[in-house]
Amino acid sequence: MLETVIFSLLNGLVYGLLLFLLASGLTLIFSMMGVLNLAHAGFYMLAAYFAYTISLYMGFWFGILLAPLLVGVIGGLVERYGLRQVHQFGHVPELIFTFGVAFLLEEVVQFIWGRDQLAYNKPEILEGALFTLFGADFPIYKMFMLIVSVLIFITLFLVLKHTRIGLIIRAAVGHPQVVGMLGHNVPLIFMVTFGVGTALAGLAGAIAGPVLGTYPGMASGLGGIMFVVVIFGGLGSLGGAFIASIMIGLIQTFAIAIDGSLADVLALIGIIVTEETFMYDIWSTTMPQVAPLIPYLMMVVMLIFRPTGLMGARES
């Protein structure tokens, strides 16, 4: 039992931090522009493909260094020449625009790299197990992911809390008009935030590619989870996004580790469920099967009881 807890804790943490890398940019973009960037997960995928291609010519390290930068630049350009043009027509066209970009990215990726999973592999130095815990190997690469994510979190936190740029960004998150009136170039701030946000998603993609697989479906479903992280953590709150990401990571990992179903719980209080029991399918569904649903359930509950999210300051 203990080994399951410790191992799930570690794995949940790795997955949660990866989610945070993805969601941190999204929450800033979302709260600043009021638009959910549906293409965010697409940039995550694009970076994994970039990193793969770069790694073929220049090695793994250049891959994870250059791919996020490239994706960040593309993200900035998409904001400057796409989103900003659509902005004047209101939020719905903006949303539809990012939806279109998401589709475009997926098709472009398949067009260039094909539909099969790519052999994007870890570098040899990160191969192998770091330590063995109760017979289970903990890979060096997971620790590498963990460290990178934590470093990014600390850097982001310091930049936002203790620098002048961070101050302006935080102000723009809450009151973009006022910041604009004070003479700051708000469109530029938007563009930079969008670029940095997509670059962070890109970093997540580049380091996740070798372990979670680099294939056209790698982003599918992630968009929804990121949305949950943003809502659950609270708009524009990095701290909230951090807690929400870790929570979702842990819950999903533990849900798979547990085998129980509602039927088992009912058995404890003396109700035996058989195939003839009313709504047998619901009682017999096991935790691992409902695991993907739990984050959405969390979001619904949060919206009912605390619409601002865990640490969000404003309601809209």
CB of 2 to other proteins, least distance (A): 11
Binding status of residue 310 toward other proteins by CB under 8 A:
no
Give the total of residues touching other proteins (CB under 8 A): 37
Cβ proximity to other proteins: between 84 and 122 the closer is 122
Binding status of residue 153 toward other proteins by CB under 8 A:
no
Cβ proximity to other proteins: between 210 and 309 the closer is 210
Whole-angstrom Cα distance, residue 185 to residue 132?
A: 52
Q: Which of 15, 97, 190, 232 binds other proteins (CB under 8 A)?
A: 15
C-beta neighbour count of 251 within 10 angstroms = 17
Binding status of residue 85 toward other proteins by CB under 8 A:
no
Nearest 5 degrees, angle CA 283-CA 288-CA 292? 105
Q: Which of 7, 99, 113, 157 binds other proteins (CB under 8 A)?
A: 7
Which span (69-77, 78-86, 260-268, 287-295) binds other proteins, by CB under 8 A?
A: 287-295
**Ramachandran assignment for 270, one of left (phi > 0), alpha (psi -120 to 50 degrees), beta (any other):** left
Which span (22-30, 53-61, 118-126, 263-271) binds other proteins, by CB under 8 A?
A: 118-126
CB of 207 to other proteins, least distance (A): 13
From 206, 126, 2, select the one nearest 10 (Cα to Cα).
2
Cβ proximity to other proteins: between 201 and 218 the closer is 218
Contact letters for other proteins, residues 210-249 (x by CB under 8 A): -xxx-xxxx-xxx---------------------------
The pair of structure tokens assigned to 136 is 């289970």
Q: Which of 88, 132, 177, 274 binds other proteins (CB under 8 A)?
A: 132
Contact letters for other proteins, residues 16-55 (x by CB under 8 A): ----------------------------------------
Binding status of residue 123 toward other proteins by CB under 8 A:
no
Q: Is 63 exposed, middle or buried (0-12, 13-18, 19+ CB in 10 A)?
A: buried
Q: Is 141 exposed, middle or buried (0-12, 13-18, 19+ CB in 10 A)?
A: buried
Whole-angstrom Cα distance, residue 287 to residue 296?
A: 15
Whole-angstrom Cα distance, residue 256 to residue 297?
A: 16
Which span (146-154, 164-172, 209-217, 275-283) binds other proteins, by CB under 8 A?
A: 209-217
The interface with other proteins within residues 247-286 (CB under 8 A) comprises 252-253, 256-257
Which span (6-14, 31-39, 54-62, 79-87) binds other proteins, by CB under 8 A?
A: 6-14
Q: Which residues bind other proteins (CB under 8 A)?
A: 3-4, 7-8, 11, 15, 114-119, 121, 129, 132, 135-137, 139, 208, 211-213, 215-218, 220-222, 252-253, 256-257, 288-289, 292
